[in-house]
Amino acid sequence: MDRGFAVLIMALVGGCIALQAPINAGLGKHAGSFAAATISFAVGTVLLAAIVVVSGKAGGLGQVAHVDWYLLLGGALGAAYVFSALVLVSQIGAGAVAAATVTGQLTTSVVLDRIGFLGLERTPLTATRLLGVALLLAGTYLVVR
């Protein structure tokens, strides 16, 4: 896949993630925060299960019994994000949630790339990468204040 097209897809999905917190917060007003987070994950699980079945890749689910335990933490990390964003969006706003989320993602990702976490290709810390993180931190500050 073309690298530029991949970035475009992720930017579009990122826009969808910005919608997620206020939508879930609205659901939370009716069902409560814990129930809303659970419903959000249940809907996502049903959708992903359908995609796996339709794609013919359901056989891969059996391999989960053979993975290291820490490879199963992705769902817990996603749940922590969904719940935190759902609760905090009403306190700090969608822009602040999105800015803080992206800042945390980028900062952590640069470190993970640097150390080659879980087989990622090692990418050195360069002045431009550090400047990118610093500018994002500055942007988050400006959005949140």
Interacting residues of 81 by C-beta distance below 8 A, sequence separation 6+? 101
Q: Are 82 and 41 in contact (CB under 8 A)?
A: yes
- Each residue's pLDDT tens digit, 84-130: 999 999 999 999 999 999 999 999 999 999 999 999 999 999 999 99
pLDDT score recorded for residue 55: 94
Q: 8 and 59: one domain? A: yes
pLDDT score recorded for residue 110: 94
5 has a pLDDT exceeding 90 = yes
Here the contacts of 128-132 (C-beta below 8 Å, separation 24 or greater) are 132/106
| Residues of the domain holding 50 | 1-89
Whole-angstrom distance, CA of residue 63 vs CA of residue 76: 19
The model carries a pTM of 0.80
pLDDT band at 15 (very low <50, low <70, confident <90, very high): confident
pLDDT score recorded for residue 61: 85
Domain count, the chain: 2
DSSP secondary structure of 23-54: HHHHHHHHH-HHHHHHHHHHHHHHHHHHHHHH
Q: 26 and 61: one domain? A: yes
Q: 19 and 65: one domain? A: yes
Mean pLDDT of the region 7-21:
89
Phi/psi for 101 (5° steps) reads -65, -50
Domain termination site, one of 70, 89, 108? 89
- Each residue's pLDDT tens digit, 57-92: 888 888 888 899 999 999 999 999 999 999 999 999
